[in-house]
Structure 1
Amino acid sequence: MRRLKLSFLLLAIAFFSCQKEVPLNDSLPGNQSRQPIVLKAYLSNSTKASISDAFGTVVWNSDDTLSVFDSPAVNGGNKFVTADGGEKAEFSGEAGTPSDGQFYALYPYSKSASYSDGTISAYLPQEQVAVAGSFDPAAFLMVGRSATTEIGFYDVLGGIRFSVENSGYDAVEFSGNDNETVAGPLTISFADDGYPVADMSTSSSKSISLKGEFEPGNYYYFSIVPQVFKKGFTLKFMQNGSVVKTAVCPSYVTVQRYIFATVRYADKEGSLSNIIDGFALDSDGTSNCYIVREQGSYKFPLVKGNSNVSVGTVASAKVLWETDNTSTAVATGALIKPQITVKNGKIYFKTADTFKPGNALIGAYDASGKLLWSWHIWLCDFDPQQTKQVYVNTSTYMMDRNIGALSTSPSGTLSYGLFYQWGRKDPFPGSTDLTGTPMATTGTIETLKCNSDCTVDFAVEHPATFILCDDSSGNDWISAGRDNTLWTAEKTIYDPCPAGWRVPDGGTDGVWMLAGENSYSMDFYYKGVKFNLKNGGTAWYPATGFIHRGEGDIRLSGQFADYWTVKTATQNVTTFEFYIKNDADDSYVGLMYNNKTRGEGHAVRCQKL
């Protein structure tokens, strides 16, 4: 078995070869007959996880065993044993020349293990042995592969290490709160980066039982296949077959390969509530807008837009406003729970227990209460990558809906979405009916007449303030004049679109111009424009109306719309505009060059980067 030589506080480690490799033909005969072989297994401490209090040295123990496969096998393969152990151990056994050019090896040896076509089949015990300061060796799986007699080993599993406050337990049971599979048969393959990937799709065990004596002051380890526990997990503390204490972690938890998350005094009330995790919304990149598709826990980094630039030292965060895109205000917390956590450079938040589509704005504050940055959370079950559209005569991908829209249906106003002043990263509520009734929000949307204080920094600090403007400010919300760099074809930190998308091009390079006049039709019943798609079907553009730059009210809802572009001129901006009245003679649609003042609030339909 493996042991921790210096300290029981070591976390799981990835192992790999770091020595000069010996060519296979120098040590093996060129045939399939089994011959005595010495395999060198190397361990490295260079990839330790960074959440442990201290580190020990992981070594092979004498009499440790490996299943070594030189060809497809179902009986555990060739058994190799080390006599001396150590950090660099020599394992002796017999094997033939690998049929596919590489040895595949599994720790520990198991008669039930098998190998075929680059995949090792193994077993993670549902019952694991509690070992103070270490792992159950039968449950700590490692694999390696090599075309030489030197093999580097990588951890397959991760898990949780915990201590207890009280003594007397003889078993602790782990289970996911969403009925996840956690033990039983598994297959192990190798990803393109060389790291192992475990698959438990054929398993059925929903819990792991760690059995033995549990003494306060020691850590004990559950070995778990890497996966996401969306609803958290539960620990049950047992005595003589009966549950004497239960601890529940209700939060999203990710078990990562070679990392063991620490829970101190797991049997103490509230201990698991300190675990903070969530689905990483920036997995496709950072942005000012993140799409949340289902109920759960989420996180994103405290950086400006699509950059890696910190917003500053954040002391707290809160929801500024939320709406379900109707004219009736939702209760506070109906979309996002008010308890938002800031830790390790990230914001952590949870949706309501019952997922409710809509939109929300989360702001981050410094210790003095200054708002440093804010992010739009778009709660809608759609994947823009899967629903992206290409119009006839074009090759540009466009989103299938406006930012903030909850539907693509022409019927009703859920396809309207939100409004933006040109160049600002934060949205304002859109219309809910044909009279221009704005979406009701839990927070307050304010207005302010443009003055000398109205700068880009002011807008960042006041994301829920619509800046009114008129001729005296050049109809721009920035008092000092135009800034054409806020939204550009090269996505900026002020771009309002989700990661991988941006405000679209205008002018002759814009998708609406390239599609051509014969590519769209006006809909006089639902009030909007339909663009024909390359693969059939249509893209729906509703007549959203707009926010008036001088009064701040919504006008011409259900009749008129402008869609922002990055095409600017000295004063104004090019938009895609249409006015749908009763018939074609009174209506128009087309690209309007340099016609819109930047202080108005209009819709945004994002273009794929």
Structure 2
Amino acid sequence: MTYRAMHTALKVLTALIVTVGVFHSCSKDDASGSLSFPSSTLYFDAEGQTQTIAFSADNIGSITVSSTPSGWTAEADLITLRMKVTAPAADEPGAERQGTIKLVGYVNGGKSVSADLFVAIAGSRDLASEQSNCYILSRPDTYYTFNALVRGEGREPLATASVEVIWQTAKNLIRYLELDGQGRASFFVGSGDGGALTEGNALVGAYDADGRLIWSWHLWVTDYDPSTQSQTYANGLTFMTRNLGAGANDNATREQILASYGLYYQWGRREPFVGPYAYDCASGKDADMYNGNNSRTYLSYVESSAETGTEAYALANPMSFILGVEESGYDWLYAAHSDDLWGGTAKTAADPCPKGWRVPDGDAFAGLTIADDLAAGVDAYRQSYGWHLTDGVVTAFYLGAGRRSALLGGIQNINTNEVPKPWVGCYWTSGTGSAALTSSGMYFTLDTEDALRSEMRPRTDFQRANGLQIRCVKDE
């Protein structure tokens, strides 16, 4: 080798040593390193789009992109700490619209660390204009955001430091929930077979810097659009055509009947509770629930007391069904009883319905009667587990979803002492009852011994610790 060649080789080797030395030293403590992205997600508006994302690397000597979804490309640069990602073209065969890119970094001694980045070609939807205690999510493969720094419909500020999925009715229903730098909760709603929306419900919580739950929002994932699927009754009120939290509701199969149940609410509480595991309520078991890590989670049942029977406790413990006791008058609130939590005809801060909708007032169901042929009632009812109710102008279907017992918390759905079945319908209104510490609701029942004795009461008293269904009315 000539002197010039040796000199050139030495310069190249020196440059390599200097370059690598920027990212790690040669001390004996260099046994570990770290690699991370500022966000776990990167969304693309269209096919073929290219974006660049920064990453952090500590004590990393080299990096490689070890895997990408089919059709995606990714190039990472350790010097600039940037990764360029390109989505597949629209006509690329076999390309995936979403998936995970894995970036691997190598430290001294051959050890490695990795960081995952979820990428997706997805639409986006900012829900800031729909600020509420409940959001309807009706678009699959969509990146959603909402303001996590205010309560409900923008009333009080929140010192939100993080957000988490408290429960969801299906694994990965709500994915990659994060709090961004602007105080927005962001998450991804994917799709199931054939690109269809997977319906279900979730509860997302806001936590302060000390890890305390300070608010929660109900996410209702459904293909239902109440702005186009509603009914205006003879009294002028416009109702949704399904229960709050319900999925498919034509009741052609047992699975659809189960999906039609919707969620259960204690009077005056925002926090929803899931329905039964089985369509006929026979097992008494609650529907499956999962946390943000897709692990099973369960409701708890606590008796109302000076400690548990408060609005503050209910807010901090949204998975606790607060049982009524004699001392509380069978209200979930132990002492500070209030007729105003849902009371009146105006929407309140505790109202659980989506933006533009509210719990119906006490006389909202007046004039409704059973439209079905009661002579054939038992068989007709058993086919759909509910009644068609009419006011002479509109006929609407209401499922016999029963109630969560004020005393036990479990779903009870019987009108005799027989095995529980969906024989009873119970729907809250915002009105107060005729007896102290009760609120009014609509009630109907199938008499299984004589269908002609079945009845429907537009307004009856219920103890407030009961968990009933809600059919939201337009807030006008």
Determine if the alignment matches structure 1 residue 503 to structure 2 residue 359. yes
Q: What SS does structure 2 have at the residue aligned with 1:384?
A: coil
Tell me by how many angstroms 1:574 deviates.
1.1
Q: What SS does structure 2 have at the residue aligned with 1:585?
A: helix
The letter of the residue matching 1:455 is T
Partner of 2:125: 279
The CA distance in 2 between the partners of 1:207 and 1:551, in whole Å, is: 55
**CA spacing shift, 1:550–1:301, aligned 2, 3 Å:** same
* Aligned equivalent of 1:396, options 212, 218, 237: 237
Partner of 2:303: 449
Partner of 2:454: 587
* Aligned equivalent of 1:375, options 190, 197, 217: 217
* Aligned equivalent of 1:567, options 422, 425, 431: 431
**CA spacing shift, 1:466–1:177, aligned 2, 3 Å:** same
Partner of 1:540: 397
Determine if the alignment matches structure 1 residue 307 to structure 2 residue 145. no
The letter of the residue matching 2:217 is W
Partner of 1:240: none
Using the size of structure 2 for normalisation, the TM-score is 0.65
Counterpart mapping for 1:421-432 below 5 A: 421-431=266-276, 432=278
Q: Which runs of 5+ in 1 are unaligned?
A: 1-174, 180-205, 209-232, 238-244, 251-268, 324-329
The letter of the residue matching 1:586 is R
The CA distance in 2 between the partners of 1:527 and 1:247, in whole Å, is: 51
The CA distance in 2 between the partners of 1:309 and 1:249, in whole Å, is: 40
* Aligned equivalent of 1:316, options 131, 142, 162: 162
Tell me by how many angstroms 1:516 deviates.
4.1
Does the 8 Å contact 1:420/1:428 carry over to 2? yes
**CA spacing shift, 1:319–1:516, aligned 2, 3 Å:** closer
Does the 8 Å contact 1:277/1:297 carry over to 2? yes
The CA distance in 2 between the partners of 1:449 and 1:286, in whole Å, is: 32
Partner of 2:182: 344
Q: What SS does structure 2 have at the residue aligned with 1:413?
A: helix
The CA distance in 2 between the partners of 1:410 and 1:282, in whole Å, is: 34
Does the 8 Å contact 2:125/2:145 carry over to 1? yes
Q: What SS does structure 1 have at the residue aligned with 2:228?
A: helix
* Aligned equivalent of 1:529, options 382, 387, 390: 387
Does the 8 Å contact 1:567/1:574 carry over to 2? yes
Task: Provide, for residues 518-547 of structure 1, a one-character-per-residue CA deviation record: whole Å limited to 9, x for no partner.
Answer: 7677652323121348887x3210000111
The CA distance in 2 between the partners of 1:349 and 1:249, in whole Å, is: 20
**CA spacing shift, 1:466–1:234, aligned 2, 3 Å:** same
* Aligned equivalent of 2:350, options 485, 488, 494: 494
Tell me by how many angstroms 1:384 deviates.
0.7
**CA spacing shift, 1:471–1:272, aligned 2, 3 Å:** closer
Tell me by how many angstroms 1:481 deviates.
4.1
The letter of the residue matching 2:458 is L
Does the 8 Å contact 1:318/1:338 carry over to 2? no
Does the 8 Å contact 1:473/1:481 carry over to 2? no
The CA distance in 1 between the partners of 2:246 and 2:123, in whole Å, is: 28
Tell me by how many angstroms 1:494 deviates.
0.9
The CA distance in 2 between the partners of 1:271 and 1:338, in whole Å, is: 10
Provide the identity percentage: 31
The CA distance in 1 between the partners of 2:203 and 2:221, in whole Å, is: 11
The CA distance in 2 between the partners of 1:586 and 1:518, in whole Å, is: 11
Does the 8 Å contact 1:421/1:598 carry over to 2? yes
The letter of the residue matching 2:138 is R
The letter of the residue matching 1:585 is L
* Aligned equivalent of 1:409, options 240, 243, 250: 250
The CA distance in 2 between the partners of 1:532 and 1:477, in whole Å, is: 33
Determine if the alignment matches structure 1 residue 438 to structure 2 residue 290. no
**CA spacing shift, 1:305–1:356, aligned 2, 3 Å:** same
The CA distance in 2 between the partners of 1:272 and 1:603, in whole Å, is: 37
The CA distance in 2 between the partners of 1:318 and 1:249, in whole Å, is: 29
Task: Provide, for residues 172-204 of structure 1, a one-character-per-residue CA deviation record: whole Å limited to 9, x for no partner.
Answer: xxx96644xxxxxxxxxxxxxxxxxxxxxxxxx
**CA spacing shift, 1:398–1:480, aligned 2, 3 Å:** same
The CA distance in 2 between the partners of 1:389 and 1:353, in whole Å, is: 29
Task: Provide, for residues 378-413 of structure 1, a one-character-per-residue CA deviation record: whole Å limited to 9, x for no partner.
Answer: 11111111101123x232100010011002224422
Does the 8 Å contact 1:277/1:348 carry over to 2? no
Task: Provide, for residues 439-495 of structure 1, a one-character-per-residue CA deviation record: whole Å limited to 9, x for no partner.
Answer: 111122111111101211111111111001122210011111421111132111110
Partner of 1:194: none
Determine if the alignment matches structure 1 residue 605 to structure 2 residue 451. no
Tell me by how many angstroms 1:271 deviates.
10
Task: Provide, for residues 241-274 of structure 1, a one-character-per-residue CA deviation record: whole Å limited to 9, x for no partner.
Answer: xxxx851479xxxxxxxxxxxxxxxxxx99998x
Partner of 1:72: none
Partner of 1:480: 335
Q: What SS does structure 1 have at the residue aligned with 2:313?
A: helix
The CA distance in 2 between the partners of 1:176 and 1:458, in whole Å, is: 41
Partner of 1:112: none
Task: Provide, for residues 43-87 of structure 1, a one-character-per-residue CA deviation record: whole Å limited to 9, x for no partner.
Answer: xxxxxxxxxxxxxxxxxxxxxxxxxxxxxxxxxxxxxxxxxxxxx
The CA distance in 2 between the partners of 1:294 and 1:248, in whole Å, is: 24
Determine if the alignment matches structure 1 residue 292 to structure 2 residue 137. yes
Does the 8 Å contact 1:495/1:502 carry over to 2? yes
**CA spacing shift, 1:313–1:249, aligned 2, 3 Å:** farther
The CA distance in 2 between the partners of 1:236 and 1:429, in whole Å, is: 42
Does the 8 Å contact 1:521/1:530 carry over to 2? no
Does the 8 Å contact 2:370/2:387 carry over to 1? no
The letter of the residue matching 1:406 is G
Does the 8 Å contact 2:127/2:146 carry over to 1? yes
The letter of the residue matching 2:300 is E
**CA spacing shift, 1:382–1:533, aligned 2, 3 Å:** farther
Counterpart mapping for 1:104-123 below 5 A: none
Determine if the alignment matches structure 1 residue 464 to structure 2 residue 309. no
* Aligned equivalent of 1:550, options 388, 397, 407: 407
